[in-house]
Structure 1
Amino acid sequence: MAEMLFLGLTFLFVLLFYFAIGRNNGVLLINIVWSLIIGTVAVAGGFASYPQSFVLVLVATLVLYIFIFRKIGRQQPNVVLLLLIHVLRIAVELFLYEWYLDKMIPKLMTFRGLNFDIVMGLGALVFLIIYLLQKSIINSWVFVLWNYIGMLSLLIVLMIGVLSSPVPIQQFGFEQPNVAVLGFPYGLLPTIIVPTAIVSHLLLLRRYPSTDA
């Protein structure tokens, strides 16, 4: 049941991003193919057997999403949908906490540790409400700062996740390492959800005029 809910959450990230960037079919296809590749390897036990290979996958994900960001180009995004993507980060944090209780990740990766991403999700909800009433909020320094802090939060948790994994460079979580992302479907968190959120921040930082209906 939890796996299906997480798959549904990942699908929401992909779907909202698809509509937010103007129904770019090329980007959607890339996300689907990448998800299938990650899922297939995870189901086959590839990441669980060779955890170090997941580090290479993260590098490939970085390259892939740089390409996606450049492919989007200068087209105007839908601010409401991008903010909704960040609101979904609240749900992601609940999953992380459940994984911690199931001894699949260390406490450091949750809101009881060094993960403050749930605050970013709540901030997105506040900005969404304000934006619906006053669209100029996206040009404020507070909004810009929130975006930078949001990206930093994601990168910090991602780094903690890598350094808590059972790989040669592991530094944290020896008593309860990060093994959740080595299985299916949770491997889609750092390979689909996190990079989608980061690119969404970058698009919001462009501060385009609203294209919402």
Structure 2
Amino acid sequence: MDKIPVYVSPVFILTTIATSVFIYFSVHQAQNNKKEKTALIVGLLISVWLVLTALLGHNNFYLDFDAKPPRLVFGIVPPLLTILALFVNSKSRAYLRNIPITTLTYLHTVRVPVEMVLWWLFLGGLVPKLMTFEGINYDILSGVTAPFIAIFAMGFKNKRRLVAIIWNIIALILLINIVGHAILSAPFPFQKFAFDMPNVGVLYFPYVWLPTFIVPAVLFSHLVALMKLFEVKSGLK
């Protein structure tokens, strides 16, 4: 970690904070009245999760490569199960329909600084080149195009709706691509790539927030957006 410039961690911490703010305000905008506390509860739960994963990362919990299952599972599975529960439950799914799709789209701008951080980690020898935009990670395109999609493609017209659907699907595929390669590049028993420079950077604090929070948040945003886009009767807002 000594090879990583001092500004990288603050950039990533600010990116994580920005992601949490996007999630908070998206939930806040979905509230039906001022007395509702859903956004506050979500904000508190996110804060607790970030503190918990930060403490584990700071104490090198995720760096035990001999553990079975890999300890990163304990940072990835809870948010994924939470997302699944939100979509399975009819009441929470109805609430998700009220989240403004534009806010969810703007959230994807955090993918730009994330890609810069991954590149810096690669230069420091902590992640393989394939996880950067110099390799096979084109996720930065999602972040760059997100504001334009939010401004020009969100509306009731079928043509704009189609553009938004296509963009979300492509951006989701790009996310799955880098997540899959990142997992298979980590020094776990099932590693398939990057044996000369494995993916260990995201197992340290604060970068562990990438797989345990930012990626799930991005996935959540895509899934909610696609649900709204395919449900014409719900409209877009």
- Structure 1 position 61 matched with structure 2 position 79: yes
- Structure 1 position 9 matched with structure 2 position 31: no
Residue correspondence of structure 1 range 1-213 to structure 2 within 5 A: 1-22=7-28, 24-50=39-65, 52-69=70-87, 70=89, 72-75=92-95, 76-131=98-153, 135-136=155-156, 140-205=161-226, 206-207=228-229, 208-211=234-237
Residue 59 (structure 1) shift: 2.5
Bigger shift: residues 54-63 or 95-104: 54-63
Paired amino acid for 1:63: L
The 3 A distance-change label for structure 1 pair 72 and 30 is farther
Bigger shift: residues 161-170 or 46-55: 46-55
* CA offset digits 1:46-102 (Å, max 9, x no partner): 112347211343233321332355574323112332121112211111111111111
Residue 193 (structure 1) shift: 0.5
Q: SS of the counterpart of 2:94? A: coil
RMSD: 2.1
Identity across aligned pairs (percent)?
A: 30
Aligned mates of 2:113, 2:157 — CA distance in 1: 25
Residue 176 (structure 1) shift: 0.6
**Runs of 5+ consecutive residues of structure 2 not aligned to the other structure:** 1-6, 29-37
Aligned mates of 1:12, 1:145 — CA distance in 2: 25
TM-score of the superposed pair, with normalisation by structure 1: 0.88
For CA contacts below 8 A with separation 6 or more, give which structure has more relative contact order: 1
Preserved CA contact (<8 Å) 2:107 2:218: yes
Paired amino acid for 2:221: S
Aligned mates of 1:90, 1:209 — CA distance in 2: 29
Aligned mates of 1:137, 1:84 — CA distance in 2: 20
**Runs of 5+ consecutive residues of structure 1 not aligned to the other structure:** none
